[in-house]
Amino acid sequence: MLDNQKQSKTLEEYLPAVENFTLNKLIPALSRGNSLSDKKKEELAHQMSIYTGISEKVYIQHNLDLPTSYFWKELLRDSIGMTIGRLDSRYLGIDKREAGSYPEYSPELTSWLHSFTPAINSYLKEDLGYKTDLKYNMFGDVYPWDKTKNNTRNQLRRAMAQNPHLNVMYQTGYFDGATTYFNSKYSMWQLDPSGKMTDRISFHAYESGHMMYLRKQDLELASKDLRSFILKNANPNQSATYREDLKSKE
């Protein structure tokens, strides 16, 4: 776990230094592969340990590339012997054994199943008057993933390029370990390498997990951000064109 000094900081205060280290030191070092010296590995592992609370030895054993599932198992292993949730790391789990490389289950999912399933069934039956014997599945079987035409980011960039009124807002939770906030931010940076559409892309992160609306403060803030985004980017009576002669006059 992090020391008390770091624990006292807010995420907004703490994360910029970690991001700077990741972008300017860790990623370039990983690209060197086996040409990276042992001394440099130790230096990086030491800094990673400071930022995460996981031991330097663990990072060295994984060649500085720690699997996400191992992180969920390892983070609190030595302190309280519990795992953390994948979709929301604020949830804790208890495995049969503290040993191992990944958690036995996702503790956040068991909590959500017990909360959302009765709620939706009550809403369907009592409020909507819809009665059925069909089972409500909170999660579906989506495997195997079909990624043969997975080129979403470039398709989005092209759509933005073709429509000057198309704007994009990213919303993400800091405690989401499945679709992490930094992956979202990195994807945002890669969306438009030319930088010509940067002013049409915005980013918001919240102190919540995969579903940011589970925390009331984030529900309210995310809703406010979404409403502001829609109002700001509503362009009635304007053609989707870059032609100077067709732009609306002031």
| 183-220 confidence digits (pLDDT tens) | 999 999 999 999 999 999 999 999 999 988 888 999 99
22 with 93, same domain? yes
Q: From CA 64, how far away is CA 45, in angstroms rounded?
A: 7
Residue 31 included in any domain = yes
pTM of structure: 0.86
97, part of any domain: yes
Domain assignment of residue 20, yes or no:
yes
Alpha-carbon span 93 to 83, nearest angstrom = 5
Q: Do 96 and 174 fall within a single domain?
A: no
* Domain span at 78: 4-105
Report d(CA 225, CA 99) in Å as an integer: 42
Asked if the structure places residue 172 within a domain, the reply is yes
pLDDT tens track for 4-56: 888 889 999 999 999 999 999 999 999 999 999 999 999 999 999 999 999 99
Q: How far are the Cα atoms of 79, 165, 185, 207, 228 from residue 201, in angstroms, in the given order?
A: 40, 11, 11, 21, 14
63-88 tens-digit pLDDT: 999 999 999 999 999 999 999 999 99
* Residue 70 belongs to a domain: yes
CA distances from 15 to 110, 131, 174, 247 (A): 29, 48, 10, 41
Same domain? 99 vs 187: no
Q: Is residue 135 part of a domain?
A: no
Average pLDDT, integer, range 130-148 = 83
pLDDT, tens only, 216-226: 999 999 999 99
Residue 100 has pLDDT above 80, yes or no: yes
pLDDT for 231 = 92
Is 32 within the bounds of a domain?
yes
72 and 16 belong to one structural domain? yes
Residues 101 and 182 in one domain: no
Q: Over the range 27-59, which residues count as b (16 or more CB within 10 Å of their CB) and which as e? A: eebeeeeeebeeeebeebbebbbebbbbebebb
Count of structural domains, the chain = 2
Choosing from 46, 76, 105, the residue where a domain stops is 105
Q: At which of 50, 81, 105 does a domain end?
A: 105
Question: CB 194: neighbour CB atoms within 10 A?
Answer: 8
Same domain assignment for residues 74 and 161 = no
pLDDT of residue 210: 94
- Rounded CA-CA distance 165/155 in Å is 16
Q: Reply yes or no on whether the pLDDT at 249 is more than 70.
A: no
Whether 85 maps to a domain, the answer reads yes
